[in-house]
Each structure stands twice: as structure tokens, then as C-alpha cells.
Chain A
């Protein structure tokens, strides 16, 4: 009797499975069948991902989205060569850099900060659909962030030397070029203050920082998805099928709510503060992210950004997140942040020296 039950029950089950497979193939982009799933049936997006890559957000003007194999090989070889040069040990008996810096373009300013042995900026171009990408932006088609609105351009001129979440680690043009940049801690970059990682690493949109510590971890439950960004131990909680927080509640990484569209996790983020200013955006920036598992080791991450007060139209980028077997370790940034105090203290010393020189000149 039991055997018969199995046999009878088996037929409809196989039929349903076939139908479901056929339906999935039609309703969803290819490759989503066969991915591992959570008990609730949604794809399992969990894992630890290393998003370090050479692919920039914007590709060079006039270039194509996809790199040929030859182009990619040439660019990656060039990057490896520069890295090998940067890995050379620094000479212990080298003299101090000249006043104003030695012009080196390495990390942490032009007086020679880290050599590249400390860094992990990525060594290859990001692969989407089996092809290497020259840039992330797919809309607009020229691969460039759309033009700023006149009001945003005006803001950019007046709000000089204020932090932006996308600023790179070494984005520090120097005292003379950015008046007031060293006057107060609030004017220092967010990464330097240990408020968020630099280069919009936590986002959203979560971007590679082209420097180090590009790891994310995703933990997924039916009620909420947690996206941890290694730097600075920032856990963004995506509440599933929930309403946004009241507009009065503002958060550094915004307020994220999620839902599933087929096999894609769609995350909608609003309620930013006016303090991240991603590429000059306002607190009303709206980010929609789409996470899709494309194979056992890879997620596709797509992001659309809209802020009518900043850009003339919305724009969309995408890149893949490859899984890593590395563990994420604690990035206790603020706890060891001697640099911020010393940077401000150094600026005060310069103020004092300048005042003394002015007095002597009289």
C-alpha cells in the first residue's frame, strides 16, 4: 500500500516539478534554477563575499561596457606590475619626504603611507555573465553617472571640505587646496572618523573601495536579512515585507526594507541622513538594490539610485559578489583611532607656526 502511495504521489510531484521548472525558466533570467534555497523556498543568498575588483564604478568615457579578453589581460597585467613595484620594501634609511610631499601617488597621501603589501584592492576585472566589465554603470548606456542638477552643482561648490561617503581612503588633497578641511573633526572624511568605511563600502550602494577590507557577510531569515560590511562592522538590517520607518527617523545607511521578486531579493532604502552625501546626494536619496544568486559562489548585485535633487535622471550599476572562504575579523576602527587626533593636532601646530612666522615678519 505504501509503495503504491509513493508511486501515485510521485507522478503529480514530478509533473509539478517540471511545470515549476518550465515556469521559472520563463519568468526569471536564466541560471536561477538549481541554486541552493532556504527552507522558505527563496534562494539562499548567505555567505561571505569579497567584492574587491579593478572594475571602477564609471568606465572611461567612450569605452565599451565589456572588455575584450585582450583588453582585460593587458589591464590586469598592468595592475599586477604596479602592485609588484609597490610591494618593494621601503628603505629604512630613506630621508624624510620634501615639504609638501614627494608626489607619490600611493595610498594615504603623497608622503608615502602604506606600501601595497598592506592593501588588497583587487587584481581582476569583475565578471558578469561570463564577461569582464570595464565599469559598473549599465544605465545610462555611456557608463557614466548622469549630470548633476544645477542645484546639486551649486551645493557642491558651497559645501566644500565636507565628508562624502564615497571619498576614497587617500582622498586628501591637502591643507592648501581645501581650506578649512582640518578645522574640525566634522570636516574630516567619514572613514578617518571611523563612522563608516571609505569608498561607500557599506553603502548603499555597497561599492568596492579599491583599497582593502572589501568583505561582506549575509545572514538570511524569513523576517530580516543582515548584510554585514567588514569596515566598520556595519550591519545593515533589511526588514522583510515591512513599511519604511517614519521620515523623521534617519540612519547612516538609511532604512532598508526588502521583498522577493521571483528569485531576486529587492531592497529599498530611504531615510538617509544629510551626513553621507554619496557623490553629493541629499538625505532623500532612494536606492533600490537587487540581489540575485547566479551560481553557488556568486551573487549579482544591481543598484539603482535616484535623487532628483542631485542627478538629472536615475542611474543603475551592477557587479558580481564572489564568495570567499576567508573569515571576517573585527575592524575596531574608532578604538585605535590615534590618527584623527594627530591630524587635527598637526593642523593646530601648523596654525601656530604660521602665526609665529606672520608675527616675525612684522
Chain B
């Protein structure tokens, strides 16, 4: 009534041009445009989860009898502390999530990685329910929820109840080192880019002993590529441990079951017997 057909066509044409320009800028293949969240950015709200074996070992690997092994007469067998788990304690195979296949360790760091792997039971922070760090929080095999609007982005992880605020205004240098680091996010076209610094040297990348120092710097990229998939990439830089930056990538899937929710996984309680059982007044039978 108030807008002529010609004017309407002009508006539509301008919108098409704008959308095309935005996609070109974002380097997208113009196949998928995510719904918008409050604030007009791609909507990452929801419950997501990785579906892969990265938490066992980021690098490609064959299936193994167990995470903790000992030499057997004809090759490695499960070490005594995990023997009772049988097939439940074995490691599923994977082609790996590391671009180029191998993590570029410095020679001395590779020695430490192997020691870590051999001492997995006593060294992996996941065994003690410690905070997972980044990017391990993303692909530890439990769901996480992204909260997003125009002014805030926040991620809550089911594993260990880890929580992570993503600053959208520059918070300045991290004032103190932490397990989850300090996250500062910005949008590059369709992609949320999160720069994570201020890590301590305590978390691992997986159950295979892959580690980092407190010089770790992670840049994550979250891009929605379909209604129920986020493409996730993390570039990992740590000049004290690696010869060059390296990258992992994987899809993250939306948890689609009705009523999907982040539930309690306060594993601190579950490791009390392991960590403090010997100091009971009456220790339990071994």
C-alpha cells in the first residue's frame, strides 16, 4: 500500500547484494546461512557435543587394549590397575583430528609426552576430575551449552561443571593464569573467533599425554555449517613445546533429543575415594 513494486524490488535486490557480499567476506561457499541470534550474529545457542575419539588421542591411532599398558609376552596388555575393565577400558581407533596428522613437538617435549603417556594413571588431570582446559573441554565426550545474545557469550560444560565466559570487550591481559584461560571473542563474518590466553601449564589435550606449557595460546573458530552442525577449529601455539602452530578441526553436533539438558557431572565427588580413601579412619578393603 505504501511501498511501490519498484521500491520493493530495489529493497530485495539490495538485500541480496548485501547477503552475497557478507558471504564473500566470510569466505563461505554461500551454501548455508545460520539463523541469527539477538544482536544479528549467527546463532550458536544450544547444546552441542563432539562425536569422535579426540579425547583418547588427538593424533590418528589404532585401537589399543587400554590407556595404561604393560609389556606382555607377545605385545602390550592392559596394566594391572585397569585390567578389570576389560573391553570397556580399551581405546577406540581414530584417523585423528590434527591437520597434517602429527603434533609438531620439539624433541625434548616429545620425550615428556611419551613419559606422560606411560604415566597416564598418575598424571592425566581428567583422572582427578580437574578442569579440562581449552580445547579439551570441547571434545571431552560430554555435552556443553552455549549461551549467546548481543552482549554476552558464555559456555557451560557438563564435564566437571566447567564454565567459561567469553569476553566480547577486550578484558586486557589475563591477570592470573587459570585452567580454562581467559577468552576474548569477536566475529569474523559467519565465524565466532575466540582468542584464549592466560593458561596455566596443568591441563592436557587428551588421554595420550599431549600437553602444553603456560605459554599456550589457542584460537578457536566456531562456524555453523548446517542447522545442527558447528564446524570447530582450534589453532594451538606454544613455542616452548611445539616447533610451529598446529590445528585441530572437527564437527560439533547439536544434541537433538527432546528435553536435552546439561546435567550434573560433579566428578570431584567421584574421585574422593581415589584421592583421599587411604586417609579414612577405616580405609576400605583394597
Indicate which residue in A40, A242, A243, A344 contacts B279 across the interface (CB closer than 8 Å).
A344
Of B88-96, B219-227, B260-268, the stretch lying at the interface with chain A is B260-268
A341 to B269, CA, bound (A): 14
Q: Report if A341-B281 is in contact (Cβ < 8 Å); known contacts: A195-B266, A251-B263.
A: no
A332 to B145, CA, bound (A): 20
With CB as the reference atom, state the residue of chain B lying closest to A196: B266
Residue numbers in A under 8 Å from B163 (CB-CB): 228, 233-235
Residue numbers in B under 8 Å from A245 (CB-CB): 261, 263
Q: Report if A252-B264 is in contact (Cβ < 8 Å); known contacts: A224-B145, A237-B145.
A: yes
Q: State how many angstroms separate the Cβ of A160 from the closest Cβ of chain B.
A: 16
Q: Are A46 and B261 in contact, CB atoms less than 8 angstroms apart? A: no
A2 to B3, CA, bound (A): 9
Asked if B231 CB lies within 8 Å of chain A CBs, one says no
Q: Are B276 and A332 in contact, CB atoms less than 8 angstroms apart? A: no
Asked if A105 CB lies within 8 Å of chain B CBs, one says no
Q: State how many angstroms separate the Cβ of B180 from the closest Cβ of chain A.
A: 6
Q: Are B154 and A228 in contact, CB atoms less than 8 angstroms apart? A: yes
Of B97-105, B170-178, B209-217, B232-240, the stretch lying at the interface with chain A is B170-178
Asked if B179 CB lies within 8 Å of chain A CBs, one says yes
Q: Are A185 and B178 in contact, CB atoms less than 8 angstroms apart? A: no
In the complex, per-residue mask of B123-145: 1 if CB is within 8 Å of any chain A CB, else 0:
00100111100000000000001
Residue numbers in A under 8 Å from B279 (CB-CB): 185, 341, 344-345, 347-348
Q: Report if A335-B38 is in contact (Cβ < 8 Å); known contacts: A186-B272, A233-B163, A341-B276.
A: no
Asked if A220 CB lies within 8 Å of chain B CBs, one says yes
Q: State how many angstroms separate the Cβ of A41 from the closest Cβ of chain B.
A: 12
A220 to B37, CA, bound (A): 12
With CB as the reference atom, state the residue of chain A lying closest to B43: A221
Residue numbers in A under 8 Å from B187 (CB-CB): none
In the complex, per-residue mask of A324-336: 1 if CB is within 8 Å of any chain B CB, else 0:
0001111010110
Residue numbers in B under 8 Å from A46 (CB-CB): 149, 151-152
A219 to B202, CA, bound (A): 29
The size class of the interface chain B forms with chain A is: 35 or more
Indicate which residue in B38, B165, B175, B280 contacts A184 across the interface (CB closer than 8 Å).
B280
Q: Are A252 and B266 in contact, CB atoms less than 8 angstroms apart? A: yes
Work out how many contacts link A and B, with CB atoms closer than 8 A: 113
Indicate which residue in B2, B149, B171, B264 contacts A38 across the interface (CB closer than 8 Å).
B149
Q: Are A233 and B161 in contact, CB atoms less than 8 angstroms apart? A: yes
Q: Are B131 and A195 in contact, CB atoms less than 8 angstroms apart? A: no
Indicate which residue in B130, B259, B262, B264 contacts A335 across the interface (CB closer than 8 Å).
B130
A231 to B150, CA, bound (A): 26
Asked if A1 CB lies within 8 Å of chain B CBs, one says yes
Q: State how many angstroms separate the Cβ of B44 from the closest Cβ of chain A.
A: 11
Residue numbers in B under 8 Å from A235 (CB-CB): 154, 156, 161, 163
Asked if B148 CB lies within 8 Å of chain A CBs, one says yes
Q: Report if A330-B147 is in contact (Cβ < 8 Å); known contacts: A217-B165, A237-B262.
A: no
Asked if B162 CB lies within 8 Å of chain A CBs, one says yes
Q: Are A251 and B280 in contact, CB atoms less than 8 angstroms apart? A: no
Asked if A183 CB lies within 8 Å of chain B CBs, one says yes
Asked if A5 CB lies within 8 Å of chain B CBs, one says yes
A220 to B269, CA, bound (A): 29
Indicate which residue in A185, A195, A234, A327 contacts B276 across the interface (CB closer than 8 Å).
A185
Residues 218-273 of A at the B interface (beta carbon under 8 Å): 219-221, 223-224, 226, 228, 232-235, 237, 239, 242-243, 245, 249, 251-252
Asked if A290 CB lies within 8 Å of chain B CBs, one says no
Q: State how many angstroms separate the Cβ of A206 from the closest Cβ of chain B.
A: 15
Q: Are B165 and A195 in contact, CB atoms less than 8 angstroms apart? A: no
Q: State how many angstroms separate the Cβ of B8 from the closest Cβ of chain A.
A: 14
Residue numbers in A under 8 Å from B161 (CB-CB): 232-235
Residue numbers in B under 8 Å from A347 (CB-CB): 279, 281
Residue numbers in A under 8 Å from B2 (CB-CB): 1-2, 5
Q: Are B179 and A330 in contact, CB atoms less than 8 angstroms apart? A: yes
A183 to B281, CA, bound (A): 5
Q: Are B180 and A220 in contact, CB atoms less than 8 angstroms apart? A: no
Residue numbers in B under 8 Å from A39 (CB-CB): 38, 149-150
With CB as the reference atom, state the residue of chain B lying closest to A343: B279
Q: Are B281 and A219 in contact, CB atoms less than 8 angstroms apart? A: no
Q: State how many angstroms separate the Cβ of B28 from the closest Cβ of chain A.
A: 25
Q: State how many angstroms separate the Cβ of A185 from the closest Cβ of chain B.
A: 5
A345 to B178, CA, bound (A): 28
A130 to B279, CA, bound (A): 52
5 contacting pairs across A/B (C-beta < 8 A) = A38-B149, A184-B281, A195-B268, A217-B165, A219-B154
Q: Which residues of A contact B (CB under 8 A)?
A: 1-2, 5, 38-40, 46, 182-186, 193-195, 217, 219-221, 223-224, 226, 228, 232-235, 237, 239, 242-243, 245, 249, 251-252, 327-330, 332, 334-335, 340-341, 344-345, 347-348, 351
Nearest first, the 4 closest Cβ-Cβ pairs linking A and B are A344-B279, A183-B281, A330-B178, A235-B156
Q: A221-B45, A232-B161, A330-B178 are in contact. List 9 more A-B contacts (CB 8 A).
A: A5-B2, A46-B151, A186-B272, A195-B268, A228-B165, A245-B261, A332-B178, A344-B279, A351-B281
Q: Which residues of B contact A (CB under 8 A)?
A: 2, 38, 45, 125, 128-131, 145, 147-152, 154, 156, 161-163, 165, 171, 175-176, 178-180, 202, 259, 261-264, 266, 268-269, 272, 275-276, 279-282
